[in-house]
Amino acid sequence: MAAIPMQYLTLQASTLPFNHVIKKLVMKYSLIIFLALLINSLLPGCKKTLEEEPVGLLSPEGFYKSKRDVESAIFGAYGMLASETLFGRQYVSAIGLRDDMSDIGNRGTTAERIQVNDFKMDATNGMVRLFWPTWYQVISAVNSAEFGAKSINLTETELNPLLAEIKFVRALSYFHLVRVFGDIPYIDKFISNPDDVKSISKTKEAEVYTKIIAELEYAKQWLPDRQPSDIRTRPSKATAASYLAAVYLTLGDHQKAYTEAKWVIDKRATYNYSLEPDFQNLFRAELANGLKETVFAVDFLGRINVGNNNDDLNGSMTGIRNTPQNGFGVIVPSLATFNTWNALDYRRKVSFEDSTLNAAGVLIPFTAYPNEKRPHIAKWRRFPGNANTDGRYSDHNYADMRYAEVLLIAAEALTEISGPTQEAIDYINQVRTRARNWPGRASTFPANLALAGLTKAQLIDLVMDERKFELAFEWKRWFDIKRRKLGDILFKGPNSLEPQPTFDATRDYLMPLPQTELEINPNLKPQNPGY
C-alpha cells in the first residue's frame, strides 16, 4: 500500500536534506530523552512507592502515647457493650428468653431464638454466635488498653486507676461469660498474633471466678469513689464492690457477698447511691444519666447508630406488633407471668404494657392485640427517650447493676448466713417501700415484711420473689434460676409460668460454646455436656 507520502513532502520542502536529517534525529532523540527523564521522575524509587501510608486509619504501632489514648481503648470496650450483639439485643435477649418469665411471642421469629427459649439449643445457635465474639472484643479492647497503659510512662497514681478500670471491665465480661458457658478460654493479655492463643485450653470455671475476684479486688482498691460527673457508665470503687457481692453470691460465698454488699450500703452516701423514688423513672430513658440508683449501666444514645454500635433494639423486640408501637413482638412474657403478678404492684404496671393505642387512637386491651394477645414488656418500650417511633435506637442506659439489687444481695446473703434478721428485712422493705410509691395512687402493695414468724426458707423465697418482680426482664432472672438450680421446678413444676418440658438440668444450665470455636481450636473440647 502506498505509504503515507508525508516524508516525501517534507523532504521536498527542504533544500538541504542532509541538515534536515540531522535536525530530525536531534529532535527525535531529544524528545525520547526528555520522555525518559519525565518517566523517571514520575516513577520514584519503587520500594518507597509501594509502601502503604494510610491516612485516616489508626495503626496500633505507636498508638499509645498518653493516658487519653489508654482511656480511648477502655471506652472502646464500653462502646462494644452498647452494641446490638450485647446489650442492644442479642445477649440480653438470649438471657431473657432463657428464663421463665420472658417467652417467645411471635413464633414466626427465627429458629435460634425459639431454640434458646425452648431449651433446644445446638452448638450452632445464632444468638451465641453473635454475642460470644462481642464479649471477647470487649475484653480485647481492655487487654489492649492494659498493654498501652503499661507501655507508657505513667505515675502510679495515674496508672493504677486506669488498670483498675481495665480490670473491672474484664471481670464484668468474664462474669457474664462464665455464668453462661462455665469453662471458657480466659485471655487477659493483648494479642497481636492470634496464633499465640490458637491452641489454648479452656480455663476452669472456678479459676475464672478466682481471677474475676482478684481483678475486682484490684478495681475496688484503685478505682475512684466517683467518676467525673458521677457517671455510672464507668465504674467506681462501689461498682467493683457491688459486683464482688454478686460474684460471691453466685459462688455461694454468702459471707463475702454480704460483706461487700454491706460495704456499699454503708458507704452509699460516699458513692451517692439511693433508690429512685419512682420505679417508673428507672425506665425513662431521658432520665437515665441522672439516676442515683444505677451502679453500672451501658449507655445508648438516642437515634444515632454506627453499625453494630449503639444499636438498641430491646424496645422493638418487646414492642407490640401491628400497632403504632410497630414492635416485633418477639419477646413477650407468658400470660401466667402477668396473671400471677399481683395487680396491686406498681411494678407490674411499670413492667407491662397491658393495653395500647391502636392505629385509630383507641385504647385496646391486650386481648385485642393484633398478634400476640398478651401483655408485652413495657420497661424498654414505653419511654425510650429520643428514639425511633418503633423504639429502636433508644436513649436507654441499661443498668447491669442497680442499688436495689445490692440491697437484695445483702438481704439474701445475710439470710443465708444468719437466717431471718431485721437487717435483711429492712433491705427488702426499702425496695418494697419504693415500689408502693405509685404516683397518683395510694398503694399499700407490696406491704413491708415483718420478721415475726418468718423461716429462713420463707425469707429466701421472699427475696427471690422480690428479685423476680423488682428486676423482671432485666436479664437477672435466668442467673437466679441457674444459681439456685430452680430449672426443674420452674419449667416442669405445676405452677410453671412457662412450661418447658425439654428442660434438662444436666445440659441447660450452660449454653454450648460456638461450634466454630471448637473446630478452629479442638483443645477447647469437650463441648459442654449434652450438646
Partner 1 sequence: MQKTAYGAFSQSRKCMIKIILIMKMTAFLLIVGCLHVGAKGFSQKISLSLKNAPLEEVFQKIETQTGYGFIYAKEQLTKMKPVDLYFVKAELRTVLETVFKDQVFSYTISGENIIIKEKPESKVEQEYFEQAPPYIVTGRIVNEEGKPLEGVSVVIKNSKTGVSTNGEGRFSIEVAPGSNVLVITYVGLESREIKVSGATILNITMKPDEAESREVVVVGYGGVRKSDLTGSVSSVKSKDLTAYPATNAVQALQGRAAGVLVQANNGNPGGGFKIRVRGGTSVNASSDPIFVVDGFAGALLPPPEDIESMEILKDASATAIYGSRGANGVILITTKRGKAGKPKIDINSSYSTQTEINRLDLLNAAEFAELIKEVNPSYTPGTANTNWQDLIFNKGNIQNHQLSFSGGNDAVHYYISGAYFDQKGVITNSSFRRFSITSNLDFNATSWLKVGLNLFTQSNTETGVITQEASGGSIGTGVVAGAFKFGPDQPVLKPDGTYSIAVVGDPFDNPVATAVERQNEEVGDRLQYNLYADFSILKGLKFKTTFGSFINNERNGLFTPTTLNAGRNVGGAATVSARKVKSFINENFLTYTKQFNTKHTFSALGGVSYQKFINESFGANSQSFLSNSVSFWNLGGGSVSLPGNSALTESTLASAYARLNYNFSDKYLLTFNGRYDGSSNFSKNNKWAFFPSAALAWNMHNEQFMNRVDFISSFKWRLSYGLTGNQAISPYQTLARFSPVFTVLNGAAVNAVRPTTIANDNLKWETTAQQNIGVDIGIFKGRVNVTADYYISKTSDLLFNVQLPQYSGYTTQLKNIGKIENKGFEFAINTKNLVGKFQWNTDFNISFNRNKVVELPGGNDIIYAFAPGHMVGISNSAQVLRVGQPVGSFFGWQYNGVYQQGATFIPGAGFEQVVGGESFRDISGKKDATGKPLNEPDGLLNGDDRTVIGNPNPDFIWGLNNDFNFHNFDLNIFFQGSQGNDLLSYTLLELETLSAINNSTKVALNRWTPANTNTNVPKVATGRPQRVSSRWIFDGSYIRLKNLALGYSLPANFMKRVKVQRVRMYISAQNILTFTDYRGYDPEVNYRNANLNAGVDYGSYPNAISYTAGLNITF
Interacting positions 146-205 with partner 1 (CB under 8 A): 184-185, 187, 190-194, 197-198
331 touches 105 (CB < 8 A): yes
Q: Which is nearer to partner 1, 302 or 420 (CB)?
A: 302
Residue 240 interacts with partner 1 (CB under 8 A): yes or no: no
Q: Is 207 in the site for partner 1 (CB under 8 A)?
A: no
Region binding partner 1 by CB under 8 A among candidate stretches 32-40, 255-263, 437-445, 480-488: 32-40
| Closest separation in Å from C-beta 500 to partner 1 | 12
Element housing 438 (H / E): strand 437-438
- Judged by DSSP in three states, 510 sits in coil
* CB-nearer residue toward partner 1: 127 or 413: 127
Nearer to partner 1, 75 or 445 (CB): 75
Taken in order 328, 331, 334, 335, the sign of the CA dihedral is: negative
| Per-residue contact string for residues 391-430; x = within reach of partner 1 by CB under 8 A | -x--x-----------------------------------
Site for partner 1 in 366-395 (CB under 8 A): 370, 386, 388-390, 392, 395
Residue among 133 and 499 whose Cβ is closer to partner 1: 133
Distance CA 261, CA 256 (A): 8
Residue 133, interface with partner 1 (CB under 8 A)?
yes
Main-chain dihedrals φ then ψ at residue 355, nearest 5 degrees: -155, 160
Take residue 139 and report the three cell numbers written for it: 475484653
DSSP classification of residue 25: H
- Beta carbons within 8 Å of 143's beta carbon, 6+ residues apart: 170, 187, 188, 189, 190, 191
Give the DSSP letter of residue 294: E
Smallest distance, partner 1 to C-beta of residue 116, A? 10
Stretch binding partner 1 (CB under 8 A), from 102-110, 236-244, 417-425, 457-465: 102-110
- With a CB cutoff of 8 Å and minimum separation 6, the contacts of 449 are 425, 428, 429, 432, 459, 462
Phi and psi at 106, nearest 5°, equal: -75, 105
> Which one of 242-250, 293-301, 442-450, 493-501 is the stretch in contact with partner 1 (CB under 8 A)?
293-301
Among 143, 242, 429, 500, indicate the residue that binds partner 1 (CB under 8 A). Answer: 143
Secondary element (H or E) of residue 520: helix 515-520
Residue 15 makes contact with partner 1 by CB under 8 A? no
Please report how close the Cβ of residue 384 comes to partner 1 at its closest, in angstroms. Answer: 11
Q: Is 35 in the site for partner 1 (CB under 8 A)?
A: yes
Q: CA-CA distance, 197 to 186, in Å (whole number)? A: 10
Tell which one of 13, 16, 57, 362 touches partner 1 (CB under 8 A): 57
Q: Does 1 bind partner 1 (CB under 8 A)?
A: yes
Nearest residue (CB) to partner 1, 114 versus 152: 114
Task: Return the biggest CA–CA distance within the chain.
Answer: 132
Using CB under 8 A, which of 17, 65, 120, 455 touches partner 1?
120
We find the least distance from the C-beta atom of residue 6 to partner 1, in angstroms, to be 6
User: Of 24 and 485, which CB lies nearer to partner 1 in the complex structure?
Assistant: 24
Calculate the alpha carbon distances from 480 to 101, 121, 369 in Å: 12, 20, 31
Pick the binder of partner 1 from 99, 100, 103, 118 (CB under 8 A): 118
Q: Which is nearer to partner 1, 176 or 468 (CB)?
A: 176
Q: How many CB atoms lie within 10 A of CB 12?
A: 10
- Binding map of partner 1 across residues 250-289, x = CB under 8 A, - = no contact: ---------------------------------------x
Q: Is position 129 an interface residue for partner 1 (rule: CB under 8 A)? A: yes
Count of positions on this chain that bind partner 1 (CB under 8 A):
113
d(CA 84, CA 131): 9
**Closer by beta carbon to partner 1, 201 or else 210:** 201
Q: What is the DSSP letter of 2?
A: P
Rounded to a whole number of angstroms, the minimum distance from the CB of residue 320 to partner 1 is 10
Q: Which of 155, 157, 229, 495 binds partner 1 (CB under 8 A)?
A: 229
User: Which parts of 111-228 fold into alpha helices (H)?
Assistant: 111-117, 126-151, 156-181, 205-222
- Three-class secondary structure of residue 301 per DSSP: coil
Chain position carrying cell 422493705: 429
Taking the least distance from each CB to partner 1, the nearer of 60 and 277 is: 60
Instruction: Determine which residue in the list 15, 16, 18, 55 makes contact with partner 1, applying CB under 8 A.
Output: 55
Q: How many angstroms separate the CA atoms of 400 and 465, rounded?
A: 19
Q: Cβ 480 to partner 1, closest distance in Å?
A: 25
Identity of the residue numbered 406: V
For the bound state, the minimum distance from the C-beta of residue 362 to partner 1, rounded and expressed in Å, comes to 14
- Going by C-alpha positions, the residue among 265, 254, 207, 260 that lies closest to residue 483 is 254
109 neighbors 327 (Cβ within 8 angstroms): no
Structure-block grid coordinates of residue 501: 418440658
Among 51, 156, 440, 442, binds partner 1 (CB under 8 A): 51
Measured from the CB of residue 260, what is the shortest distance to partner 1 in angstroms?
Answer: 26
Region 501-520 residues binding partner 1, contact defined as CB under 8 A? 514-517, 519-520
Closest to partner 1 by CB, 281 or 421 = 281
Instruction: Please name the residue that has the C-alpha cell 442515683.
Output: 292
| Residue 28 parent element (H or E) | helix 17-42
